[in-house]
Amino acid sequence: MKNCIMQPLRGTKDILPSDIVLWQHLYNKATEILSLSNYHEIRTPILESTSLFNRSIGNGTDIINKEMYTFIDQGNRSITLRPEGTASVVRSFISNKLYQKGKTNRLWYLGPMFRYERPQYGRQRQFHQLGIECIGSISPIADAEVIRLATYLLNELQCLEYTIEINSIGSLKERNLYKESLVKYLLNYQHDLDHDSKERLYTNPLRILDSKHKTTQEILHQAPCLNNYLGIESRMHFNSVCKFLNKLNIKYNINDRLVRGLDYYNYTAFEIKTHILGSQDTICGGGRYDCLIKQLGGPDTPAVGWAIGIERLLLTLKHNLEIHTKHPQIYLVTQGAEAQIQIWDIIKMLENHKISFELDLYNNNLQKQIKRAYKSSALLCVILAEDEISKQEITLKWLKTNKQKTILKINLEQELKIIFNTH
Residue where one domain finishes, among candidates 272, 302, 320 = 320
Q: Residue 204 falls within a domain, yes or no?
A: no
Nearest CA among 362, 307, 351, 294 for reference residue 328: 351
Question: Sheet of 404-408: strands edge to edge?
Answer: 357-359, 330-334, 380-384, 393-398, 404-408
10 is a domain residue: no
Give residue 400's domain range.
Answer: 330-420
Contact 350, 357 (CB under 8 A): yes
In tens digits, the chain (423 residues) has pLDDT values of 467 788 989 999 999 988 898 899 999 999 999 999 999 999 999 999 999 998 887 665 667 667 899 999 999 999 999 999 999 999 999 999 999 877 899 999 999 999 998 888 878 999 999 999 999 999 999 999 999 999 999 999 988 889 999 999 998 888 889 889 989 998 988 888 888 888 888 878 888 887 778 888 888 888 888 889 999 999 999 999 999 999 999 999 999 888 776 667 889 999 999 877 666 688 999 999 998 999 999 999 999 999 999 999 988 886 666 666 788 999 999 999 999 999 999 999 999 999 999 999 987 789 999 999 999 999 999 999 988 899 999 999 999 999 999 999 999 999 999 998 866
* End-to-end C-alpha distance for the chain, whole angstroms: 60
pLDDT value of residue 61: 66
Q: Is 85 annotated among the ligand-binding residues? A: yes
Residue 163 and residue 33 share a domain: yes
Q: Which of 287, 320, 353 is the last residue of a domain?
A: 320
Spatial separation of the C-alpha atoms in residues 384 and 389, rounded to whole Å: 7
Position 277 scores a pLDDT of 67
Check the annotation: does 374 bind a ligand: no
In this structure, what are the phi and psi dihedrals at residue 30, rounded to the nearest 5 degrees? -60, -45
Contact 248, 193 (CB under 8 A): no
Measured distance CA(277)–CA(159) in Å, rounded: 12
Give how far the C-alpha of residue 370 lies from the chain's centroid of Cα atoms, to the nearest Å: 40
65 and 114 both lie in a single domain: yes
Q: Is 7 a known ligand-binding residue? A: no
pTM of the model: 0.86
CA distance 112 to 6: 22
Q: What CA–CA distance (Å, rounded) separates 24 from 306? A: 20
| Spatial distance between the Cα atoms of 149 and 154, rounded to a whole number of angstroms | 9
Do the annotations mark residue 133 as ligand-binding? yes
Give Dmax over CA atoms of the chain in angstroms. Answer: 95
- Among candidates 229, 53, 219, 245, which has minimal Cα distance to 142? 245
In a domain, 214, yes or no: no
State the CATH number of the domain containing residue 357: 3.40.50.800
Looking only at the bridges linking them, the beta strands covering 393-398 and 380-384 are: antiparallel
48 annotated ligand binder: no
Residues in the chain: 423
Task: Specify the pLDDT at position 197.
Answer: 86
Q: Is 200 marked as a binding-site residue?
A: no
Listed residues 267, 296, 320: the one ending a domain: 320
Same domain membership, residue 119 and residue 24: yes
DSSP-assigned letters across all residues of 74-125: TTS-EEEE-S-SHHHHHHHHHHTTGGGG-S-EEEEEEEEEE-----BTTB-S
Contact between 369 and 332 under an 8 Å Cβ cutoff? The reply is no
Do the annotations mark residue 265 as ligand-binding?
yes
Shared-domain flag, residues 261 and 361: no
Residue 185 lies in a domain: no
Cα angle 66, 72, 77 (rounded to 5 degrees) comes to: 115
Exposure on the CB side of residue 247, measured as CA atoms within 13 A: 10
Pairing type for strands 330-334 and 303-309 reads unpaired
Other CB atoms within a 10 A radius of the CB of residue 248 amount to 14
Q: Same domain, yes or no, for 415 and 378?
A: yes
At residue 76, the pLDDT reads 95
| Helix, strand, or coil (residue 391) | helix
For every residue of 144-208, DSSP letters joined together read HHHHHHHHHHHHHTT----EEEEEE---HHHHHHHHHHHHHHHGGGGGGS-HHHHHHHHH-GGGG
Q: Does one domain contain both 278 and 396? A: no
Residue 129 assigned to a binding site: yes
84 labelled ligand-binding: yes
CA–CA gap between residue 120 and residue 10 (Å, rounded): 10
